[in-house]
Structure 1
Amino acid sequence: MNQTKPSLKNWFKGGDPWVWLNAAAVSVSVIAVLGLLAILAVNGFGHFWPSDVRLAKYQLEGMDKPVLVMGEVADSIGVPAQQLIDAGFNVDPNQVTHNRLLLKVGNRDVIGADFAWFLEKGFQDVLYPAEVMVLERREWGNFYGTLEAVKQNGEIIAQVNGDNYEAVWADFEKTLVRADKIHEEIHEIEKSAIGSINHGMERLRLRERGLELNPPSNTALAIEQQEIAAERAELDAQYAVLQKELNQLYQQIGRDAIVAKVADGSEVTIKVANIVRATRPNALTIFGKIKTYGSKLWEFLSEEPREANTEGGIYPAIFGTVMMVLLMSIMVTPFGVVAAVYLREYAPQGPITRTIRIAVNNLAGVPSIVYGVFGLGFFIYFIGHHADQAFFPEALPSPTFGTPGLLWASLTLALLTVPVVIVATEEGLARIPRAVREGSLALGATKAETLWRVVLPMASPAMMTGLILAVARAAGEVAPLMLVGVVKLAPSLPLDGNYPYLHLDQKFMHLGFHIYDVGFQSPNVEAARPLVYATALLLVIVIALLNMSAVAIRNHLREKYKSLEH
């Protein structure tokens, strides 16, 4: 005992307990982060895996006859027996819990709901037929059933009869591939070609309005009007050609349809043009499921949303998030660095400067929604309104910059994060030895040259640290963006081929707001839940990639200017 006490005392005095405590804290943090990412990945990206579809009879005591149920298991929970008895179910009270399954049955246009709960004990003769197909549609969600026939112009060209199911399925796949190609052509014409024509028409309208507001001489006015009329006639001719092509494409894509049978035996006709993807998950091999999973995941990352954001992809939200963060970074860095340089290098170190530093630190703690209200009032209602009157009078009363948009959202977040950049840059400037500055001045350099060529390059890693912190905070903000530019659905990107190419006045989508909208505003909660997890994980990945890029630049600058610090 006499030897144990001194050794235990020395162990505490040596600091070993604090080392183990810190190691435990770091381990718990890493496990928590990895656990969170695993939950998001499993519940989010696992949604795209093509699950097997069951076909079974379902009957509980009290039901006149069994009903056929077709769908894929989406979730399962254990329900206490007493709760089921209280709800009127005849179950065994000696069994503590009974399993309850949530099946995605689809066919919302037929039965009115995508999901339904069933007691597992009620299922009989559970089968997984290879003929069962899952159709992802542009409207009305998934369809579950079996293929019966393929139609063209209202006439059956292939019908299931005996053992020819594979041949009919092959015919259906051919029509689906052809419809997808036509749909891509339609999308290209409507979004790009006709979109450019509409942009040109709007430009001509604003040009005419400008002539009305500021009429030139009669001769110049006549020339301008002739030019506008000629350009409009050319655009009208182009539009007529494109509209004729569109009509032909719509006729071609509308001729194909299929006849499918649902679980209760009734038949429905589905336009092939309304089908995005058709699979038979029960017949897929593991490699086929991996291929389908990759296709659905790529669609999620690269396509526009459908069905109130519960189907399709989130590419516009990814693009909007990255674009907003890049613009915010371009705006916040110069302002933050200039403010920090002034406070550290030029401002008298007196009460006023100390008060400014305190104010900057306090700004970092202001709730983000306050910045949103400020951005709405100052940037949009004041600056945007006066900018419209000064530079875009021909567009009034429709606002150009006097409405929420990408520019104001980026400026609002730049204002929100500028205190972080100021503080980080000031700390970096304070760490530069005074001898470096004095050596540069002794060699004949001016103070401005010393600042520009010596001090700022050495402080650049600290600037990048401030930018990293700014990006980490700004990319996940949602509350202020709801007031200054983010919307539920904006499939048109703010960057396109029409002048001025980057449209800072347009509204945009954001991953953070997409999570809020899908998770709390969606009319189809069960269908939206997996997308909330997937989008949350994607937002984390986007923020991590942006931060890793900034970290790589910071490390490069740190190595480059390390020799100047010694």
Structure 2
Amino acid sequence: MEKPAELQAANYDLVARDTKSVGAYVKSGAPYVWVTAAAISVAFIITVALLLLTAARGLPHFWPADLVQATYKEPGKEQQHLLAEIRSSEEVTTARLLNAGLPVDEKQPLYDRLLLKIANRDLGGVDFRYVLSDWLVERSQPKDATVLERMEWGNFHGFVVALKEGDKVVASGEEAWKGYQERQDRVNDLRGKVRDIEKGKIGAVNYDLERLRLQQRRLELDGKTPERNAADFAAIEAKRKSENEKYEVLRTELDQLNAEMGRDALVMKTVDGQEVTLPLSKLIQGYRPNDMGLFPKIGFFLGAIWHFVSEEPREANTEGGIFPAIFGTVMMVMIMSVIVTPFGILAALYLREYAKQGPLTQAIRIAVNNLAGVPSIVFGMFGLGFFVYFVGANIDKALYQEGLPSPTFGTPGILWASLTLALLTLPVVIVATEEGLARIPRSIREASLALGATKAETLWKVVLPMASPAMMTGLILAIARAAGEVAPLMLVGVVKLAPSLPLDGNVPFVHFERKFMHLGFHIYDVGFQSPNVEAARPLVYATAFLLVLVILLLNLSAIRIRNKLRERYKALEH
């Protein structure tokens, strides 16, 4: 049935008056929706831009860039021959160059300055150098220009001359390059066996010998002597002898492998004509970027990234990989999550379900909220003073007297770091869990009690399952904050280079007392403590990008669990 004309006119008139009134538009809430959407969009754009920036600055480090052979002719100085990788380019004013003492033309307003990676740090003292593009002449990209990645001293740039086996030359020129690839693979296989023996088998022997030493020390502290307790000391001595025999066998095998690794060498010639003999045992890989196509370069790029995330660092953390830092970060976050979740949930349960709501409870809530605003370095000082020097020292006195004066738990380690960050993130879990408990209707609690359930059963089987998504939200926020913290960790367990992981094959397998590496501290160390700034800069961006990905992966895992819990208990809310 059609509405009367008078009623339709009234409706149109009403809409016109509401849209013309600014106050009515504001009261409708629409502006706040748009402002919120704009803020979220800006935050999302900034986040994506940050990720793209770190990726753009860090990932090109792993790309096999072409080598440029050129002559550098600086006025008033002897010309130099260079074989280098162009890392970056920037425009510099003439005034700035004149202040630096360079003989540039004052009539030219700008110069293009290049950052070159010339490598060969053991020969020239530096592996990066700034040059002016105008003075870098006679450029070419020779196909046989070779890059060698070394165990130390960084990369080597040059041309292959010969391949030697012992003192005998087995190939020269292009044949030497072809033979090098096969022999380098052989050396890398031997290096893997050496690493397994040193880190695995010999490490296990040393670990067992240290445990035997501590067992003997324990017997001495208990007042036992070799004369009165000969059987106990004889058993320890027999085990020690067995371990020493194992070590001698492994040492012999290790010496043989090292001798086989040192058999071959590669003779290289630098761009200025100097010949250098490089043992293959000191090399990791070699490649010719100017002779590589697109797909081989992509394959090399992906392989370099894999090595970066799976290997240990070298050269003061400016070379190699960051696997120990990734492992330490993930393990610390997991231990922290296991600790903070139950304590946060129990505290929220007490404040919301058991505590009498009054001034005292309100004061506790205010204290919890204020705790979230305490600087993280304060938590680090507390962790060092309480967990390390008080709790850890007393644990050593009670359980590890045989190890004193060398501390076991009375020194910074991954357990104390996890506990410190658990305290740091505890307010987040408490607040999120309490908000989740407050959302559950009182009628659901009353219905459970009316059916004969006790209060504890109601909380355990009804309330907590329904509040579990809020608990996971608190855990997500805790993970996001803890994974990126650095300041407190510098006091309670993180180190520049950890000799071993907190998790290995030696009993008890998980070593909570060990120090560990962390991605956040690795970024700080490489960025501000590295002796080779130019080599470290791209690694800072690459590590930062990886840290964001690790945090994102941890959060996505927690979000997935939260969504499953939310769907599972969604029907109970209606």
Q: TM-score, normalised by structure 1?
A: 0.96
Determine which of 290, 312, 326 is the counterpart of 2:320.
312
Deviation at 1:67, TM superposition (A): 1.5
Give the equivalent residue in structure 2 for 1:121. Answer: 134
Q: Describe how 1:497-508 pairs up with structure 2 within 5 A.
A: 497-508=505-516
Distance 1:8 1:564, change over 3 A: closer
Determine which of 511, 517, 527 is the counterpart of 2:525.
517
Give the equivalent residue in structure 2 for 1:22. Answer: 36
CA distance in 2, matches of 1:214, 1:94: 87
Deviation at 1:9, TM superposition (A): 7.3
User: For each residue in 1:235-281, what CA deviation from the matched residue of structure 2 results, as whole angstroms up to 9, or x when unmatched?
Assistant: 11111110110111111111211111111111111111111111110
Distance 1:372 1:68, change over 3 A: same
CA distance in 2, matches of 1:399, 1:87: 53
Gaps in structure 1 of 5+ consecutive residues:
161-165
Give the equivalent residue in structure 1 for 2:70. Answer: 56
CA distance in 2, matches of 1:22, 1:508: 41
Deviation at 1:531, TM superposition (A): 0.4
Distance 1:5 1:446, change over 3 A: closer
CA distance in 2, matches of 1:3, 1:383: 71
Question: Would you say 1:496 and 2:543 are equivalent positions?
Answer: no
Give the equivalent residue in structure 1 for 2:109. Answer: 96
CA distance in 2, matches of 1:372, 1:192: 33
User: For each residue in 1:41-88, what CA deviation from the matched residue of structure 2 results, as whole angstroms up to 9, or x when unmatched?
Assistant: 111112100000000111132234x21111101111111122223434
CA distance in 2, matches of 1:206, 1:86: 64
SS in 1 for 2:484: coil
Give the equivalent residue in structure 2 for 1:450. Answer: 458
Counterpart amino acid of 1:507?
K
Question: Would you say 1:75 and 2:88 are equivalent positions?
Answer: yes
Give the equivalent residue in structure 2 for 1:291. Answer: 299
SS in 2 for 1:361: helix
How well do the aligned residues superpose, as a CA RMSD in angstroms?
1.8
Counterpart amino acid of 2:539?
L
User: For each residue in 1:81-139, what CA deviation from the matched residue of structure 2 results, as whole angstroms up to 9, or x when unmatched?
Assistant: 22223434343433321100000001000000010011000111100001111111110
Counterpart amino acid of 1:252?
E
Counterpart amino acid of 1:405?
G
Give the equivalent residue in structure 1 for 2:538. Answer: 530
Counterpart amino acid of 2:74?
L
User: For each residue in 1:444-470, what CA deviation from the matched residue of structure 2 results, as whole angstroms up to 9, or x when unmatched?
Assistant: 111111111111111111111111111
Whether the 8 Å CA contact 1:486–1:510 is kept in 2: the answer is yes
Question: Would you say 1:371 and 2:385 are equivalent positions?
Answer: no
Give the equivalent residue in structure 1 for 2:309. Answer: 301
Question: Would you say 1:199 and 2:207 are equivalent positions?
Answer: yes
User: For each residue in 1:345-397, what CA deviation from the matched residue of structure 2 results, as whole angstroms up to 9, or x when unmatched?
Assistant: 11111211111111111111100000000000000000100100100011111
Give the equivalent residue in structure 2 for 1:34. Answer: 48
Gaps in structure 2 of 5+ consecutive residues:
1-15
CA distance in 2, matches of 1:356, 1:375: 22
Question: Would you say 1:132 and 2:182 are equivalent positions?
Answer: no
User: For each residue in 1:151-188, what CA deviation from the matched residue of structure 2 results, as whole angstroms up to 9, or x when unmatched?
Assistant: 1112222122xxxxx32101111221111111111000
Whether the 8 Å CA contact 2:219–2:225 is kept in 1: the answer is no
SS in 1 for 2:410: coil
CA distance in 2, matches of 1:43, 1:4: 52
Deviation at 1:225, TM superposition (A): 1.5
Distance 1:75 1:227, change over 3 A: same
Give the equivalent residue in structure 2 for 1:435. Answer: 443
CA distance in 1, matches of 2:199, 2:539: 26
Counterpart amino acid of 2:178?
A
Distance 1:549 1:234, change over 3 A: same
CA distance in 1, matches of 2:434, 2:500: 41
Deviation at 1:17, TM superposition (A): 4.3
Give the equivalent residue in structure 1 for 2:421. Answer: 413
Whether the 8 Å CA contact 2:144–2:288 is kept in 1: the answer is yes
Deviation at 1:221, TM superposition (A): 2.2
Distance 1:275 1:218, change over 3 A: closer
User: For each residue in 1:479-525, what CA deviation from the matched residue of structure 2 results, as whole angstroms up to 9, or x when unmatched?
Assistant: 00000000000141110000000000000000000000000010000
SS in 2 for 1:475: helix
Deviation at 1:224, TM superposition (A): 1.4
CA distance in 2, matches of 1:141, 1:120: 25
Give the equivalent residue in structure 2 for 1:323. Answer: 331
Distance 1:441 1:294, change over 3 A: same
Determine which of 238, 243, 252 is the counterpart of 1:244.
252
Whether the 8 Å CA contact 2:226–2:233 is kept in 1: the answer is no
SS in 2 for 1:260: strand
Give the equivalent residue in structure 2 for 1:87. Answer: 100
Give the equivalent residue in structure 2 for 1:185. Answer: 193
Distance 1:15 1:353, change over 3 A: closer
Give the equivalent residue in structure 2 for 1:173. Answer: 181
CA distance in 1, matches of 2:240, 2:40: 67
Give the equivalent residue in structure 2 for 1:386. Answer: 394
Whether the 8 Å CA contact 2:486–2:520 is kept in 1: the answer is yes
SS in 2 for 1:38: helix
CA distance in 2, matches of 1:49, 1:190: 32
Q: TM-score, normalised by structure 2?
A: 0.94
Question: Would you say 1:209 and 2:223 are equivalent positions?
Answer: no
Determine which of 33, 54, 58 is the counterpart of 1:44.
58
Deviation at 1:10, TM superposition (A): 6.7
Give the equivalent residue in structure 2 for 1:109. Answer: 122
Whether the 8 Å CA contact 2:19–2:25 is kept in 1: the answer is no
Counterpart amino acid of 2:61?
H
Whether the 8 Å CA contact 1:57–1:68 is kept in 2: the answer is yes
The number of equivalent residue pairs is 559
Distance 1:121 1:414, change over 3 A: same
SS in 1 for 2:113: strand
Whether the 8 Å CA contact 1:211–1:221 is kept in 2: the answer is no
CA distance in 1, matches of 2:357, 2:238: 66
Determine which of 123, 141, 158 is the counterpart of 1:145.
158
Whether the 8 Å CA contact 1:154–1:255 is kept in 2: the answer is no
